Chain A
Amino acid sequence: MSEIRGFYTLWLREIKRFQRDRTRLITSFIQPLLWLVIFAAAFATRFSGLPPELNYQQVLLPGIVGQTLLFTAMFMGINVIWDKQFGFMKEILVSPVSRLTIFLGKMVGDSTDAFFQGIIVLVIGLILGIKISPISVLIALPIMLLVTFGLVSIGLVIASFMGNLEGFGAIQTFVNLPLFFLSGALFPLKGGSLPLWLTDVAVLNPLTYGVDAFRNIMLGADWTPLQIQSLGVDIGVVALFDGIMIVVGTWAFRRMK
Chain B
Amino acid sequence: MPSLIETHQLTKSYNSFRAVDDLNINVESGEIFGLLGPNGAGKTTTISMLCTILKPTSGKATVNGFDIVKEANKVRKSIGIVFQDPSIDDRLTGRENLFMHANLYGVPTSEQKDRINRILKLIELEDRADDLLRTYSGGMRRRLELGRGLIHYPKVLFLDEPTVGLDPQTRDHIWKYIKDLKEAHDITVVLTTHYMDEADRLSDRIAIMDHGKIVVLDKPSKLKETLEGDVVVVRANNNAALSELVSKWLGFNQNKIVDEALEITVHNGKAVMPRIMELATQNNIYVESLLLREPNLEDVFLHYTGRTIRQDTGKELHGAAAARRRAIR
Interface residues of A (CB under 8 A from B): 1-2, 5-6, 8-10, 12-13, 16-17, 20-21, 85-88, 90-97, 257
Interface residues of B (CB under 8 A from A): 51-54, 73, 76-77, 81, 83, 85-92, 96, 99-101, 103-106, 109, 132, 319-321, 324
Contact in complex: B105, A95 (CB < 8 Å): yes
Tell which of B92, B104, B105 has the most Cβ of chain A within 10 Å: B104
Q: Which of B89, B103, B106 contacts A88 (CB 8 A)?
A: B89
Q: Give the distance to chain B from A49, nearest Cβ to Cβ, in Å.
A: 47
Contact in complex: A17, B101 (CB < 8 Å): no
Contact in complex: A93, B53 (CB < 8 Å): yes
Contact in complex: B85, A87 (CB < 8 Å): yes
Q: Which residues of A contact B51 (CB under 8 A)?
A: 94
Q: A98 — nearest CB in chain B belongs to which residue?
A: B73
Q: What separation, in Å, do the CA atoms of A6 and B91 have in the docked complex? A: 19
Tell which of B87, B96, B105, B321 has the most Cβ of chain A within 10 Å: B87
Q: A105 — nearest CB in chain B belongs to which residue?
A: B104
Q: What separation, in Å, do the CA atoms of A93 and B83 have in the docked complex? A: 12
Subset of 19 A-B contacts with CB under 8 Å:
A6-B106, A16-B91, A16-B92, A17-B92, A21-B91, A85-B320, A86-B90, A86-B324, A87-B85, A88-B87, A90-B87, A91-B83, A91-B87, A93-B53, A94-B53, A94-B81, A95-B76, A95-B104, A97-B104
Q: Give the distance to chain B from A87, nearest Cβ to Cβ, in Å.
A: 4
Q: Which residues of B contact A90 (CB under 8 A)?
A: 53, 83, 87
Q: Which of A1, A86, A93, A257 contacts B321 (CB 8 A)?
A: A86
Q: What separation, in Å, do the CA atoms of A91 and B88 have in the docked complex? A: 8
Q: Give the distance to chain B from A97, nearest Cβ to Cβ, in Å.
A: 5
Q: Which residues of B contact A21 (CB under 8 A)?
A: 91
Q: Which residues of B contact A92 (CB under 8 A)?
A: 104
Q: Give the distance to chain A from B148, nearest Cβ to Cβ, in Å.
A: 8
Q: Which residues of B contact A87 (CB under 8 A)?
A: 83, 85-87, 321
Q: Which residues of B contact A94 (CB under 8 A)?
A: 51-53, 76, 81
Q: Which residues of A contact B83 (CB under 8 A)?
A: 87, 90-91
Contact in complex: B53, A5 (CB < 8 Å): no
Q: Which residues of A contact B88 (CB under 8 A)?
A: 88, 91
Contact in complex: A17, B87 (CB < 8 Å): no
Q: What separation, in Å, do the CA atoms of A28 and B203 have in the docked complex? A: 53
Q: What separation, in Å, do the CA atoms of A92 and B87 have in the docked complex? A: 9
Contact in complex: B73, A257 (CB < 8 Å): no
Contact in complex: A13, B76 (CB < 8 Å): no
Q: Which residues of B contact A95 (CB under 8 A)?
A: 76, 101, 104-105
Q: What separation, in Å, do the CA atoms of A21 and B91 have in the docked complex? A: 9
Q: Which of A10, A12, A13, A96 contacts B106 (CB 8 A)?
A: A96
Q: What separation, in Å, do the CA atoms of A10 and B90 have in the docked complex? A: 15
Q: A6 — nearest CB in chain B belongs to which residue?
A: B104
Contact in complex: B99, A9 (CB < 8 Å): yes
